[in-house]
Homo-oligomer: A and B are copies of this chain.
Amino acid sequence: MRFSINEVEYEHRIERVRKTLAKRRLDALYLTNGASMFYLTGYHFISTERPAALVIPVDGKIAFLGPSLEQEHVPLETRLIEEIKTYLDYPGERHPIKHFANFLEELGLAKKRIGSDSSSGAFGMWGYSGPKLAKELPEARFVDASDLIPKMRVIKSAAEIDLVRESAKWANLSVSLLQEYTAEGLWDANVALDASNETSLIMKRTLGFDYVPKRNVYAVSVGFRGQIGEMSAIPHSIATRRMIKRGDVVIAESGVDVGGYTCELERTMIVGKPSSKHKRYFEAMVKAQDAAFEAFKPGAKCSDVDKATVSAFKKAGLMDLVKHHTGHGLGLEVHEPPWLDIGNDEPLRTGMVVSCEPGIYEIGFAGFRHSDTILITEDGAEIITYYPRNLEELTIERRD
């Protein structure tokens, strides 16, 4: 199947997990994080209050433990899971975690050392409560292994990078359509849904029936998330009350699911003629991003990139307007390690994929942030997203 990771690569990942388990003298891995489960199998499910886990023994069959509504879903998405053990529903006449204790016993793990990413045995969503798995299986030894899969996920393979690259193409189209559709007098949510819908349709027509989003209901999510006018100064705003008007700074964001992976592409745009203050802030932001691009050098640390943007904003006299660090890893989750943060002295490594998105925010005025997706290479970095970054091309003129 195209537009997804192939089975051989999943097998290699599982082989690496088994080697690490052996090294740590663990008999099995017990995983509850959905993104990590997808990373190892290609199977994605909707995490709810219903406990679910992937069990990878050093020797023996890979098992999925979960609710019965996933029973037939698993084999549709992966052939790597060979055992599926389910309970009817949560909380049930008998609690799912008690079933899980039995399932682990059936898998021969009742008295073994099990690495886990959950201290309770469940992911714990939406009002879940229940006994701890370790208590239900007193002869097993549970060991924290929550670092194991995230450490693997931080370096992307060639196939993963290809998916992020494919994602970047469609993100580019989506932001292009979003910019084209944006105009004063419109609600940002409608412009966003139009551009998301149109891009999804073109994508489906272009890539054909093989293409389907793997971890998201919709292929494309492009929009402003409420970052319109003064609300663009609130980086995590949700929605706006009013229509787009002349003079608004708007921040566009796009993500596109290709094989479960996505790039991140964000652009600051101005509706109408930019003021001199708009220009000053916009240019300072672009310069800070340029400084970050320069800082992705062989041998550099994650913190060096953040320091480069801090230094650029200080030089511009705008450091007071900084509200977050320079970027984060991405791929399967919206944010994931590594963090481009002043406190993270981890070295940049070839195959890391990160966002680069220094921003400034003046309350009552506007926010300014572009985000590009960066691949760390042996020579430095490659900018995977490629939408125009300059003010001229990001100015939305009134249509007459």
**Residues of A with Cβ closer than 8 Å to B?**
44-46, 48-49, 67-73, 76, 88-95, 119, 125-127, 129, 146-147, 150, 187, 189-190, 192-194, 196-197, 200-201, 204, 209-219, 223, 225-226, 233-242, 322-325, 328-329, 333-337, 339, 341-344, 361, 363
Contact = CB atoms under 8 A, between A and B. Distances in A.
Contact of A341 (B89, B126, B339): B89
B127 A237 contact: no
- Main DSSP-derived SS at the A contact region: loop
Contacts of A235: 69
Nearest to A210: B241
B69 A324 contact: yes
Given A126-B335, A323-B68, A337-B127, A190 B201 contact: yes
Nearest to A45: B236
A297 B52 CA distance: 33
Which of A44, A201, A226, A335 has the largest number of chain B CB atoms within 10 A?
Answer: A335
B88 A325 contact: yes
Given A91-B344, A129-B147, A337-B127, A241 B226 contact: no
A193 B187 contact: no
A238 B217 contact: yes
27 contacts: A45-B236, A48-B334, A49-B339, A68-B323, A68-B324, A69-B236, A69-B323, A72-B363, A73-B237, A76-B234, A89-B324, A89-B342, A90-B325, A90-B341, A94-B343, A127-B150, A127-B329, A127-B335, A189-B218, A190-B197, A193-B218, A212-B241, A216-B238, A216-B239, A217-B223, A217-B226, A217-B238
A116 B68 CA distance: 32
A191 to B, nearest CB: 10
Across the A-B interface, the 5 shortest Cβ-Cβ residue pairs? A193-B197, A89-B325, A93-B343, A69-B323, A92-B343
B213 A187 contact: no
B126 A91 contact: no
Given A69-B323, A339-B91, A217 B189 contact: yes
A217 to B, nearest CB: 5
A126 B333 contact: yes
A291 to B, nearest CB: 18
B213 A217 contact: no
A394 to B, nearest CB: 22
